[in-house]
């Protein structure tokens, strides 16, 4: 079970906070979407996602060739209001707006288009 201390440690890193808030807003995203949105390397994103998954904050699931990440729906009751507040706080930041713009402009998103 995710402890309060683990929860805040997960969100204390900028990359993890950006991943979690995007996932909280979008529902689910694959590594390629997060890599594009955050403009960071795939190994760096994957390393942070693995930590978030190990702490039980995120779940992953394979759908065809894609591995998607989402917020764990079985988090403790206190986690959801904190995630909502974190999302509200970062939505006003320029970096979150840039992340969202890059995500929305991404060509060939796995759930949005068929890439050939």
pLDDT at 63: 86
* CA distance linking residue 82 with residue 104, whole number of Å: 25
Confidence of residue 107 (pLDDT cuts 50, 70, 90): confident
Helices (H), the chain: 4-11, 14-26, 31-38, 42-54, 79-91, 94-105
pLDDT at 1: 82
DSSP letter (8 states) at residue 60: E
Average pLDDT along the chain: 92
* CA distance linking residue 104 with residue 55, whole number of Å: 28
Prediction pTM value: 0.89
Contacts of 26 (CB under 8 A, 6+ apart): 103
Residues 57-72 pLDDT 10s: 999 999 888 899 999 9
């Amino acid at each position: 079970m995710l402890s309060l201390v683990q929860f805040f440690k997960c969100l204390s890193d900028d990359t993890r906070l950006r991943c979690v808030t995007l996932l909280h807003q979008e529902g689910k995203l694959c590594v390629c979407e997060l890599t594009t949105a955050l403009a960071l390397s795939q190994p760096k994103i994957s390393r942070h996602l693995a930590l978030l998954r190990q702490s039980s904050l995120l779940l992953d699931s394979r759908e065809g060739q894609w591995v998607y990440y989402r917020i764990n729906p079985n988090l403790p009751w206190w986690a959801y209001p904190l995630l909502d507040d974190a999302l509200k706080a970062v939505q006003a930041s320029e970096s979150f707006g840039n992340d969202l713009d890059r995500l929305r402009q991404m060509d060939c998103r796995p759930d949005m288009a068929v890439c050939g």
